[in-house]
């Protein structure tokens, strides 16, 4: 990547931290963004902290989609950023009001010193709670100063009154007639205000009663001041919110309490969630968490490894309806096994269907390993608008489910479709071909990994695949194909101009002897490959010949590596 002159200069400036006092005092606000990018790119956490603490604009975006080859921010730089945000709350030079950290997390374990979603979420919540504690301490200090200032003022007024009283007592020339008149006024005022004085008090002077009433009022004011210093009301905290922090929040059973405290306790930093991902939480815990989220910001919910059951999911879905921008719902391994009939199961399914129907802007739906054979029509028919992304791996789909999907309102709008690990046979082929024909103008990603596609089944499907002119990613790993079937697949893939990635299965000829005639995906995954590399070399050579013949050797990645292929190739140019 060729750096511009601005980027080169910014890198040179932030590289020497000892010079920061000189350039920070005179750098124009237009250069802050370039300096911050250089500090992140070259791991200068001290420069990151100083720039963010003085950030001259109202909004700061860190994260989002990264360019090809661009590394995520270093963990130390992210921690320096969060600490600087808290310090900036008391820095008059800081104008920051919105901090957007959406997409900042890095889930790629191969990237060293990056911060994953779980660590980032805990750090964000700690930052919010730390800012609240600092604001509370500052408020108590201000209240204590005000109280002392008030006491000093009261003492000064009391001293002035005592001096005036002494001067009045020293005037012995006052006439007796005037003294009788003052006594009359005191008696009349005593009768008028006798309800203001407690019954056990036998005080009969106006000045004395006024002094008692003043002390009583002052003592009540002290108690109110001390209670207000200890805690602010929610309305008071709403007035002191200074920075809104937008981020993707990852929550599990270990971090749930901290996330809940950060969302429920108001303070100068307000946490706003874009995508929520939860793992290993019960349905009531997820429900309480949803109740704390600001409704205008949430775009997606991802629930994983939580034993919700049909009834738990039916309880949660209506709670998602108040979020107007919600367009993504992903459910992974949530223990919705409907292969075993249970009492009240059908009613809970109806509730699930109604809950899905209440999500008016839903575009992405993922139901991984929920085992809902024969119930796809019930779940999807309640949706008011078509889906664009549908992921149904390990769902135990039947031919009836595929027949419904091929004729549904969703078929012609699908951009991504994942039917992995659903066993396909001859009875499924007509519905699947019809589905591909309906989606041929929109479908960009298709995954049929582990579907039991043999040479014969794949041969029946290839004409439909060749008509998908928008397809960019085709994944067919862990299917029992021979080398001949694989080459037929490669020819079809090379004929799709938009295709950028083909994830193919290792042909059966590359496995050790002993595989059954039609092995499952689990058997293909566990069975050892031949130690000799001759078979693999032959396959690669034949694939290269196919790609070279079609002129696709440079723009089409063909791989059998399940772990290391790049999903970034599926992103639109």
Instruction: Give residue-wise pLDDT tens across range 332-388.
Output: 998 776 656 666 677 888 888 999 999 999 999 999 988 888 889 999 999 999 999
In total, how many domains does the chain have?
A: 2
pLDDT at 231: 52
List Cβ neighbours of 344 (8 Å cut-off, separation of 6 or more).
Answer: 311
Residue ending a domain, choose from 105, 134, 163: 134
Q: Is residue 158 assigned to a domain?
A: no
Distance CA 52, CA 59 (A): 11
Number of H helices, E strands in the chain: 20, 13
Higher-confidence residue of 255 and 162: namely: 255
Q: Is residue 404 assigned to a domain?
A: yes
Q: Is residue 232 assigned to a domain?
A: no
Higher-confidence residue of 153 and 223: namely: 153
Q: Is residue 194 assigned to a domain?
A: no
Answer whether residue 241 shows pLDDT above 80: no
**Is there a contact between 290 and 326 (Cβ–Cβ < 8 Å)?**
no
pLDDT at 573: 41
Residue ending a domain, choose from 83, 118, 134: 134
> In the numeric block, which tokens belong to residue 344?
């009240």
* Nearest of 508, 499, 502 to residue 479 by alpha carbon: 508
What 3-state DSSP class applies to 447?
A: strand
What pLDDT digit, counting tens, does each position of 400-417 carry?
999 999 999 999 999 999
**Is there a contact between 117 and 75 (Cβ–Cβ < 8 Å)?**
no
Q: Which whole number is the average pLDDT over 120-125?
A: 93
pLDDT at 150: 72
> 10-19, 75-84, 213-222, 397-406 — which is least confidently predicted?
213-222
Q: Is residue 284 assigned to a domain?
A: no
Answer whether residue 488 shows pLDDT above 50: yes
Q: Is residue 483 assigned to a domain?
A: yes
Q: Which whole number is the average pLDDT over 433-442?
A: 96
Q: Which whole number is the average pLDDT over 49-64?
A: 92
Residue ending a domain, choose from 134, 166, 185: 134
* Nearest of 280, 282, 268 to residue 311 by alpha carbon: 282
pLDDT at 250: 95
> In the numeric block, which tokens belong to residue 158?
């009391």
* Nearest of 91, 5, 76 to residue 44 by alpha carbon: 76
**Is there a contact between 277 and 302 (Cβ–Cβ < 8 Å)?**
yes
> In the numeric block, which tokens belong to residue 376?
């796809």
% of the chain with per-residue pLDDT over 70: 78
pLDDT at 174: 47
Q: Is residue 331 assigned to a domain?
A: yes
Distance CA 53, CA 87 (A): 6
**Is there a contact between 278 and 149 (Cβ–Cβ < 8 Å)?**
no
Q: Is residue 420 assigned to a domain?
A: yes
- What's the predicted TM-score (pTM) here? 0.80
Q: Report the chain's mean pLDDT, rounded to a whole number.
A: 83
Distance CA 473, CA 490 (A): 13
Residue 246: band (very low, low, confident or very high) from pLDDT cuts 50, 70, 90 = very high
pLDDT at 234: 53
pLDDT at 222: 45
List Cβ neighbours of 220 (8 Å cut-off, separation of 6 or more).
Answer: none
Distance CA 53, CA 85 (A): 6
Higher-confidence residue of 1 and 389: namely: 389
What's the CA angle centered on 195, arms 193 and 199, to 5 degrees?
A: 120
pLDDT at 202: 41
Q: What CATH number should be reported for the domain holding residue 504?
A: 3.80.10.10
**Domain containing residue 126:** 5-134
pLDDT at 5: 87
Rounded to a whole number of angstroms, the distance between the first and last alpha carbons of the chain is 17
What 3-state DSSP class applies to 543?
A: helix
Q: Where are the beta strands (DSSP E) in 421-511?
A: 445-447, 473-475, 501-503
Q: Which whole number is the average pLDDT over 269-274?
A: 93
């Amino acid at each position: 990547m060729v750096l511009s002159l601005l980027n080169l200069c910014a890198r040179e400036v932030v590289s020497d931290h000892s010079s920061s006092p000189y350039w920070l005092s005179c750098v124009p606000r237009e250069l802050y963004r370039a300096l911050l990018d250089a500090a992140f790119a070259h791991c200068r956490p001290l420069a990151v902290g100083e720039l963010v603490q003085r950030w001259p604009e109202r909004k700061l975006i860190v994260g989002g989609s990264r360019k090809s080859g661009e590394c995520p921010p270093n963990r130390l730089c992210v921690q320096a950023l969060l600490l600087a945000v808290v310090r900036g709350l008391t820095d008059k030079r800081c104008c920051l009001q919105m901090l957007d950290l959406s997409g900042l997390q890095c889930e790629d374990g191969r990237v060293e010193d990056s911060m994953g979603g779980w660590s980032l979420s805990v750090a964000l919540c700690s930052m919010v709670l730390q800012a609240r504690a600092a604001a509370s301490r500052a408020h108590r200090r201000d209240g204590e100063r005000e109280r002392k200032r008030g006491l000093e003022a009261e003492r000064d007024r009391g001293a002035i009154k005592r001096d005036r009283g002494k001067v009045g007592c020293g005037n012995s020339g006052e006439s007796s007639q005037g003294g009788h008149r003052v006594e009359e006024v005191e008696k009349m005022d005593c009768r008028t205000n006798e309800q203001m004085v407690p019954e056990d008090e036998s005080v009969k002077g106006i000045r004395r009663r006024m002094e008692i009433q003043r002390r009583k009022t002052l003592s009540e004011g002290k108690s109110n001041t001390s209670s207000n210093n200890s805690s602010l009301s929610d309305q008071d905290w709403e007035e002191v919110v200074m920075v809104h922090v937008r981020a993707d929040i990852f929550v599990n059973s270990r971090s749930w309490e901290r996330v809940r405290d950060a969302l429920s306790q108001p303070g100068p930093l307000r946490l706003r969630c874009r995508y929520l991902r939860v793992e290993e939480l019960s349905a009531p815990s997820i429900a309480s968490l949803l109740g704390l989220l600001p409704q205008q910001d949430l775009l997606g919910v991802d629930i994983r490894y939580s034993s919700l059951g049909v009834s738990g999911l039916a309880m949660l879905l209506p709670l998602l309806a108040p979020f107007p921008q919600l367009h993504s719902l992903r459910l992974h391994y949530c223990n919705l096994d409907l292969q075993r009939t249970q009492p009240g199961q059908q009613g809970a399914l109806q509730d699930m269907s109604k809950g899905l129907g209440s999500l008016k802007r839903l575009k992405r739906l993922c139901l991984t390993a929920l085992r809902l054979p024969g119930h796809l029509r019930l779940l999807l028919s309640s949706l008011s608008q078509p889906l664009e992304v549908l992921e149904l791996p390990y769902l135990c789909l039947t031919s009836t489910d595929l027949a419904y999907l091929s004729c549904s309102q969703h078929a012609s709008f699908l951009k991504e479709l994942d039917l992995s690990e659903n066993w396909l046979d001859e009875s499924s082929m007509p519905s699947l071909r019809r589905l591909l024909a309906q989606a041929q103008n929109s479908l960009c990603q298709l995954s049929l990994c582990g579907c039991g596609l043999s040479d014969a089944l794949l041969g029946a499907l290839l004409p439909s695949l060749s008509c998908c002119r928008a397809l960019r990613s085709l994944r067919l790993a862990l299917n029992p194909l021979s080398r001949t079937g694989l080459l037929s697949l490669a020819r079809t893939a090379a004929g799709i101009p938009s295709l950028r990635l083909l994830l193919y299965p290792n042909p059966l000829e590359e496995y050790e002897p002993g595989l059954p005639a039609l092995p499952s995906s689990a058997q293909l995954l566990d069975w050892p490959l031949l130690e000799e590399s001759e078979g693999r070399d032959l396959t690669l050579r034949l694939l290269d010949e196919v790609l070279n013949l079609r002129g696709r050797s440079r723009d089409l990645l063909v791989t059998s590596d399940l772990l290391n292929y790049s999903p970034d190739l599926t992103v639109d140019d």
